[in-house]
Amino acid sequence: MSDLFSAVGSLHSALDYHLERHTVLSSNVAHVDTPGYHPHDLRRVDNVDFSSALSVAMDRTNSAHFQTPNADAAALEGRVFEDLSAGAGNDGNYVSLDREAAKVAANQLRYDVVSAVVSAELSQLRFAATDAKGG
């Protein structure tokens, strides 16, 4: 039964990623006039286990240390980083409104595409669940 929803689960994490990135980028736009502000962005990170990537194993020496997340949660996680590529203005602010607006628009487009795919997947599941009666 879980195989039916596996595609929707990974798409769910993609929607979450784009929503989180939208929040980060919107914060940059809100700080366009804040002196000394450094804009941030969200980068996709594949949580690859060290033991498989580097052929080494990491030991948990303290129970408070993070454990490796499961594969489902690792599909599309993001890591916030400072994006200083636009250069600083006279007030030390690195936010370029044009650049941030373009990032927001591109991210919105990606979110819309994933949302349309999710909608299509769920429609197909509904169609199958109603014995192809369409309602």
* Structure confidence by residue, pLDDT tens digits, 63-106: 666 554 444 444 446 789 999 998 999 999 999 999 999 999 99
The tens digit of pLDDT for each residue in 19-69 reads 999 999 999 999 999 999 999 999 987 654 544 444 555 566 776 665 544
Q: Of 3, 2, 5, 10, nearest to 126 (Cα)?
A: 5
Q: Where do the structural domains in the chain lie, given as residue ranges?
A: 2-129
What is the pTM for the complete model shown?
0.70
